Amino acid sequence: MKPIEQAPFLTEMRLSAANMYRLGWDERNGGNISLLIDREQAAEYLDLNQSLRTIPLGFYAPELAGKIFLVTGTGKYFKNVADDPETNLGVIRVAPNGRDAELLWGYRDGGRFTSELPAHFMSHRARLAVDAGNRVIMHCHPTHTLAMNYVHPLEDKAFTHTLWKMCTECIVVFPDGVGVLPWMLCGTNEIGEATAKKMADYRLVVWGMHGIYGAGKTMDETFGLIETVEKAAQIYMLTAHLPRVNTITDPQLRELAEFFGVNYRKDFLDE
């Protein structure tokens, strides 16, 4: 069995967490990541025939029974993930009953997975139903995206349309748009259900006055989705109070999307 420190899934989690903290997206213990790991890959680094302990999930996820995830820990600081992954991360397998998690590695100090796990798992279920290749759910608090929540209508079309107009690349990177939720109490099944409903149509979901959820096939793809939204939101916040002299028009957005062959939300354009 190979040392888990050499596992690609652990490396990409460590690097992503470090980058997210460096960019100011995950202050203190804000934010969380979950990564679906292939059973065959997990077996190269972990003994799948035994678990360290069982942790109640707090909700019912029979569709995910047997699936293995690498998940950030509750109360853990992203700045510490790279240097001490075994304390700040855990590899869990959803038990056959769909109600418990079997800890295979990590949470060395007796900790447990993020309190947002219900939202993560509900989003995993939603995205896997759309695309079986989706294996990452990433939540963070990007500064400018969060600031934009306070000065812009929190509605899917309006929010997406504004972001698309901020950078030429936006409609190409997230042609499916951005789903937006009003403020809701975090850490509950209710916000998880609302997020999962949006995830059926979007890979990006903004939590009003809180942060953003992203989904993707790889850490890089998911990070890049959020990174692009954050750049667009930053440009918006830098220019929203100034006279608009130039802009990307809707016909130009359409031309971009069609040139790059992306399946964009045509109903999100006004012209």
Whether pLDDT at 216 is above 80: yes
Residue 59's pLDDT band (boundaries 50, 70, 90)? confident
The predicted model gives 202-221 an average pLDDT of 97
**Cβ-count burial 236-252 (b if 16+ within 10 Å, e if not):** bbeeeeeeeeeebeeee
The predicted model gives 108-114 an average pLDDT of 95
| Superfamily per CATH, domain 1-114 | Class II aldolase/adducin N-terminal domain (3.40.225.10)
Q: Which of 116, 221, 227, 230 is catalytic?
A: 116
Cβ proximity of 45 and 3 under 8 Å: yes
pLDDT tens figures, 149-201 = 999 999 999 999 999 999 999 999 999 999 999 999 998 889 999 999 999 99
Whether pLDDT at 65 is above 90: yes
Q: Where are the domains of the chain?
A: 1-114, 116-271
Structural element, H or E, at residue 90: strand 89-94
Measure the CA dihedral 68/60/16/207, to 10°: 160
The predicted model gives 115-134 an average pLDDT of 94
pLDDT recorded at residue 141: 98
| Superfamily per CATH, domain 116-271 | Class II aldolase/adducin N-terminal domain (3.40.225.10)
CA end-to-end span of the chain = 58
pTM beyond 0.85, yes or no: yes
pLDDT recorded at residue 121: 95
pLDDT recorded at residue 58: 86
Active site residue 116: yes
| Alpha-carbon dihedral sign for residues 73, 77, 78, 79 | negative
pLDDT recorded at residue 187: 85
Residue 9's pLDDT band (boundaries 50, 70, 90)? very high
Same fold, 1-114 and 116-271: yes
Cβ proximity of 35 and 136 under 8 Å: yes
